[in-house]
Amino acid sequence: MLFPVTQVEETKQMIKVLPVWAATFIPSTILAQVHTLFIKQGTVLDRSMGPHFEIPPACLAAFVTISMLISLAIYDRYFVLMARHYMKRPRGTTLLQRMGIGFMLHVIVMITACLAERKRLSVAREHNIISKNEVVPLSIFILLPQFVLMGVADNFVEAAKIEFFYDQVQEGMKSLGNSYIATFLGIGSFLSSFLLSTVSKITKKHA
């Protein structure tokens, strides 16, 4: 069968973005930790704020949105202007460069989460806490840096991903570009569940 030139070019264009699409699975997996591992960490920490109030662990996820909005304003107001001056580009940096910065920030997020978890385990060992129902005498706000950093990373990665996949497809295939965005979020959630369940099984064997 002979296909129109436009269909051939559109197909080639979509295939070209597949490597970038696959690379976004990792940050999507890390993003899923906000609503799984990070919240689970908070449930076993001291959540008291005053004598009669305990902060719900899921409330810390609001700081992801807050820090994302603040960093987005700073990015558009200051970072883009500086990058335009040095890079000589209208956007300051390319979308791939912006994603790359976000990828590095995601590494910092996970290092921060690792340090917080090591501190939690250290305090739990000091107080001989072995039951999952016992509260570790450590403030839940030790998790705040990883939530805030996740919002800053999302400012670079998530915004750049949406712009990239929307820009890289032709006008008649915008819906397919949007479907790419939805799929890497879904696949990231599956990978996150697989990663957490695997780590849980391994640690239980060696506990």
Per-residue model confidence as pLDDT tens digits over 1-26: 666 666 677 677 777 777 887 888 88
Hey, which residues does 45 pair with through a beta bridge? 136
pLDDT for 146 = 93
Question: What does pLDDT average to over the chain?
Answer: 82
Q: What is the mean pLDDT of residues 100-106?
A: 90
Q: What is the mean pLDDT of residues 99-126?
A: 90
pLDDT for 172 = 62
CA distance 122 to 201: 21
Hey, which residues does 136 pair with through a beta bridge? 45
pTM (predicted TM-score): 0.82
CA distance 45 to 24: 31
CA distance 86 to 191: 38
pLDDT for 18 = 78
DSSP-derived letter for residue 53 is -
1-10, 123-132, 185-194: least confidently modelled range:
1-10
Among 140, 149, 139, CA closest to 107: 149
**Residue entry with tokens 């051939």:** 8
**Residue entry with tokens 């940050």:** 27
Among 91, 64, 73, 88, CA closest to 167: 91
**Residue entry with tokens 């990883």:** 146
- Number of H helices and E strands in the chain, helices first, is 9, 2
Q: Is the pLDDT of residue 29 over 70?
A: yes
CB 64 within 8 A of CB 154: yes
